[in-house]
Amino acid sequence: MSLPALYVSRLLPPAVMSVLTERFRLVAQPGPLPPEKQSLRKGLEEAEAAICTLTEQIDREALHAAPRLRVIANYAVGYNNIDLDAAKDRGIVVTNTPDVLTEATADMAWALLLATARRIPEGHGLVQQGAWTGWEPTQLLGADVYEKTLGIVGMGRIGNAVARRAAGFRMPIVYCNRTAPAPSDTAPSWRHLSLQKVLSESDFISLHVPLTPSTRHLIGAAELRLMRPTAFLINTSRGPAIDEAALVDALRERRLAGAGLDVYEQEPALHPGLRSLAQVVTLPHLGSATLSARVRMGMVCIENIRAVLEERPAPNRVN
């Protein structure tokens, strides 16, 4: 029996690659870097199933040039990189990897929050550069986290996991969500407010929205003006949810205390203004980057592909 033809756009963790090479015929050898447009096109053209990552833009043209393709398993929870309508028109199932990366991403949102509030990268730099001359009463003073108000924008799975972690810090939770009540479990003490109120009442604001036309620049100049000058903005969702130019202005004018960013408007490019500000902590899109999350994401992709190829409903279909 011949194995189904699979296109994998990037090299995934070895535990995932070994299952893929056992169960599928790979139409191309994946590498560590994003594929050139032409090789992405060619891979999709030859495959029955594909695993793609968030760096691959899969547009209508690419989908129409893929006659055998039945399923694209996006190796991510977000799927803004794929034209879902075009996939649907072509009868191609698109799936994502929710749940398995929820806790890893929530941990990272907290890592960024704490690193930004307590100036961890600055402290690390001081010690590493040999510039530390000893303990000082006023050295690198940061902001308190304990008992401050945490605002969650987007109370989905990840927003919920971030809010749950705040209990240990005795932080009141305020949140907003596209749909009310929120889709996942919320604690009775968490307050559902408008976006505007969440922005004006929070000391820390963490974004957990998917990128859609209505969340692009969700946090722009007007929204940043609602935030407290002592507040911090944390983003582990998608870069374009924030208007970066407006964020840079707000930080420069000290209308905001700091920002912890894992994602950017034009990845991997950084807005030049974000490079020179000490109150910004920047990570290279590492939200789900733990070995176990990345292996489980691969297994979820495989499960979804098998379902489609065996004519069963895909557990994580998004279109």
Could you tell me which residues come within 8 angstroms of residue 52 by beta carbon, excluding any fewer than 6 positions away?
Answer: 9, 40, 58, 72, 73, 74, 75, 81, 82
Nearer to ligand GLV, 12 or 76 (CB): 76
Nearer to ligand GLV, 116 or 215 (CB): 215
Q: Which segment (11-19, 97-105, 144-152, 247-255) binds ligand GLV by CB under 6 A?
A: 97-105
Count of chain residues binding ligand GLV (CB under 6 A): 15
Q: What size, in residues, is the chain?
A: 319
52 DSSP β-pair partners: 74
CA distance 152 to 161: 10
- Distance in Å, CB of 302 to ligand GLV, minimum: 16
Note the Cα 164 to chain centre separation in Å: 18
Residue 158, interface with ligand GLV (CB under 6 A)?
yes
Nearer to ligand GLV, 4 or 159 (CB): 159
**Catalytic position from the list 45, 122, 267, 303:** 267
Using CB atoms within 10 A of its CB, is residue 136 exposed (0-12), middle (13-18) or buried (19+)?
A: exposed
- Distance in Å, CB of 140 to ligand GLV, minimum: 30
Which of 50, 51, 77, 115 contacts ligand GLV by CB under 6 A? 77
Residue 296, interface with ligand GLV (CB under 6 A)?
no
Which of 202, 288, 304, 319 contacts ligand GLV by CB under 6 A? 288
Residue 294, interface with ligand GLV (CB under 6 A)?
no
Residue 78, interface with ligand GLV (CB under 6 A)?
yes
Tell me if residue 238 is catalytic.
yes
Residue 298, interface with ligand GLV (CB under 6 A)?
no
- Distance in Å, CB of 77 to ligand GLV, minimum: 4
- Distance in Å, CB of 104 to ligand GLV, minimum: 10
- Write the Ramachandran bin of 4: left for phi over 0, alpha for psi from -120 to 50, otherwise beta: beta
Q: Which segment (72-80, 169-177, 216-224, 249-257) binds ligand GLV by CB under 6 A?
A: 72-80
Count of C-beta atoms within a 10 Å radius of residue 285:
18
Residue 157, interface with ligand GLV (CB under 6 A)?
yes
Which residue, judged by CB position, is nearest to ligand GLV in the bound state? 156
Residue 101, interface with ligand GLV (CB under 6 A)?
yes
Which of positions 27-56 make contact with ligand GLV (CB under 6 A)?
Answer: 54
Provide φ and ψ at 109, rounded to 5°.
Answer: -60, -40
Q: How far apart are the first and last CA of the chain?
A: 30
Q: Which segment (27-35, 74-82, 130-138, 139-147) binds ligand GLV by CB under 6 A?
A: 74-82
**Catalytic position from the list 70, 285, 294, 296:** 285
Could you tell me which residues come within 8 angstroms of residue 197 by beta carbon, excluding any fewer than 6 positions away?
Answer: 174, 176
94 DSSP β-pair partners: 72
CA distance 167 to 164: 6
Q: String of b and e for 8-45 (b: at least 16 CB within 10 Å)?
A: bbbebeeebeeebeeebebbbebeeebbeeeebbbbbe
- Distance in Å, CB of 212 to ligand GLV, minimum: 11
Q: Under a CB-based contact definition with an 8 Å cutoff, are residues 109 and 234 in contact?
A: yes
* Cα within 13 Å of Cα(71), Cβ side: 27
Tell me if residue 192 is catalytic.
no
Q: Which residues are near ligand GLV by CB under 6 A?
A: 54, 76-78, 98, 101-102, 156-159, 208, 210, 287-288
Q: Which residues are catalytic?
A: 238, 267, 285
